[in-house]
Amino acid sequence: MGVRLYDTTLRDGAQGEGISFSLETKLRICERLAHFGAHYIEGGWPGANPKDTEFFAHARDLDLGGTVLVAFGSTRRAGVPPEDDANLRAILAAGAPAVALVGKAWGLHVEEVLRTTRAENLLMVADSVALMKSHGVEVFFDAEHFFDGFKEDPDYALEVLRTAAEAGADWLVLCDTNGGTLPWEVEEIAATVRREFPAAHLGIHAHNDGGLAVANTLAAVRGGAELVEVTVNGYGERCGNADLCAVVPDLQLKMGLEVVPQERLRELTALSHFVAELANMPHDPYQPYVGRSAFAHKGGIHVDALKKVPKSYQHVDPELVGNRSRVLVSELAGKANVEMKAAELGLDLPPEEARRVVRAVKDLEGKGFQFEGAEGSFELLLRRSRPDYDPPFELLDFLVLVEKRVGKEILAEATVKVRVGEEVMHTAAEGNGPVHALDRAIRKALLPFYPGLERVRLTDYKVRILNEGAGTEATVRVLILASDGEHSWATVGSSPNIIEASWQALADSLEYPLIRRWI
């Protein structure tokens, strides 16, 4: 048995706060979703805005394979013949092979929001669905606020579904629009609908206002739903929608229901990051299945067990969803953490050496360093612990001067002394601040030996005060993110002196790509 995947990222997901997809972005996401294996992709509401109308015009040229494109809209307005309704005309003009019509299933909305009668609402549903079917398109009827309506007046909510079904709707989608229904309620109500409509194709559309959208989606499938409406990363209005990145693997890996081909499921993590990047939203590292921390292990006892039996602390193989296990190293780490991390890097670390590294990590973290977010500095720590490590350069000393005079801007100047092989370079540079001056001075010394450093750029610089009560005497931790345009890495420094902490992180950020031979 399989479950059909209906993605509404481009319509419902786009209603999330802070999200605005360009036309080109919508087309790219559409193609990626089709490649992933979505059976249906809801492209937007034609006629609601020029961009969605234009999307359907351009989407005709996309190669979506067997994926069906869906145009969204609402049932006709009260008192308006369906053929004269501008919304319905715009949906048909989009030329999509399937349409989704949203109609009210809660008497409160019919009478207090639409300000019409329940009888008229049924006619609106019937007329709108019948018009779409007369044009030969597949019809999804989204019964808006169905669960709230059912709890208030089950007879009327079911009558709305019956009206849509008798008018020819191919799918009856039960919507938890306010996102406040509980999973056992969803399962029970979905099972009731299945008994009432044994031959109907049922779907579920859940919002996350109670933090239950994924659970409610699974519950609806248990109750008889055959189609799930979801968005990538759970994007959507208010608290979002059911997250495709959790629903699909839950159905497929936990419930044994095929949704997409297994080889496509391995692209799930990449899909999640791809959409987050195009949505210009930070990717949630704690997101189940696809987050960077989803399979990250920090506690020494956990890592020791993981090393022996991976499933002891992983509910699924992360490779099944395109993710990977990560071992974090911190003051909570044990020897197993260090050994597994070294193995990841292809380093053979004898047990006694691993113990020394653990002690060094705990000592450094006691001084304010933190390596779980600075894997570049940790790898350098590992390599420096080996007796045969030959550093590409050695920082001997530095001097930083900051000058402010009346009527002039602040001037920062740094002087550094660096040994490369047998040569000692003594250079100076100015900058708009002490860290910038240090960066320019050390690069000036190293570029004659390592011209590839020209490609290295600092992409982020974070400072965190570790003991706020100490005021200006506080210890600070500096985290530097760097990139050569192809790879990215993070390094860390810590000291009561912000310049020294910056110097430590900066030096590591330049040494790391050299020992990796990336430049």
Rounded CA-CA distance 26/49 in Å is: 14
DSSP-derived 3-state class of residue 508? helix
Domains recognised in the chain with CATH numbers: 4-279 (3.20.20.70), 296-366 (no CATH), 394-515 (3.30.160.270)
Rounded CA-CA distance 239/180 in Å is: 11
Q: Using CB atoms within 10 A of its CB, is residue 311 exposed (0-12), middle (13-18) or buried (19+)? A: exposed
Measuring CA to CA, which residue among 274, 214, 292 is closest to residue 250? 214
Measuring CA to CA, which residue among 476, 480, 503, 478 is closest to residue 490? 480
For 213-251, the pLDDT digits (tens) are: 999 999 999 999 999 999 999 999 999 999 999 999 999
pLDDT of residue 135: 96
Flag residues of the chain having pLDDT under 50: 331
Rounded CA-CA distance 285/298 in Å is: 15
How does strand 423-431 pair with strand 411-420? antiparallel
Measuring CA to CA, which residue among 405, 422, 431, 449 is closest to residue 502? 431
The number of angstroms, rounded, from the C-alpha of 366 to the middle of its chain's C-alpha atoms is: 32
For residue 30 the two structure tokens come to 């559409």
What letter would DSSP give residue 254?
I
Structural element, H or E, at residue 108: helix 107-108
pLDDT of residue 333: 52
For residue 324 the two structure tokens come to 């990977």
Region label for 188, one of left (φ > 0), alpha (ψ between -120 and 50) or beta (otherwise): alpha
Q: Amino acid identity of 413?
A: E
Region label for 136, one of left (φ > 0), alpha (ψ between -120 and 50) or beta (otherwise): left
pLDDT of residue 382: 84
pLDDT of residue 348: 73
Q: What's the chain's length in residues?
A: 519
Measuring CA to CA, which residue among 424, 421, 456 is closest to residue 440? 456
**Residue that has been written with the tokens 């067997």 in this structure:** 66
How does strand 411-420 pair with strand 394-403? antiparallel
DSSP-derived 3-state class of residue 328? coil
Structural element, H or E, at residue 121: helix 118-134
Q: Using CB atoms within 10 A of its CB, is residue 411 exposed (0-12), middle (13-18) or buried (19+)? A: middle
Rounded CA-CA distance 482/384 in Å is: 20
pLDDT of residue 304: 64
- Going from the C-alpha of 246 to that of each of 212, 289, 375, 424, the distances in angstroms are 12, 7, 28, 55
Is residue 438 within 8 Å of 431, Cβ to Cβ? Answer: yes
pLDDT of residue 243: 98
Is residue 81 within 8 Å of 89, Cβ to Cβ? Answer: no
**Buried-state track 35-55, b at ≥16 Cβ within 10 A, e below 16:** ebbbbbbbbbbbbeeeebbeb
**Which pTM value belongs to this model?**
0.71
Region label for 256, one of left (φ > 0), alpha (ψ between -120 and 50) or beta (otherwise): left
User: How many C-beta atoms surround the C-beta of residue 238 within 10 A?
Assistant: 13
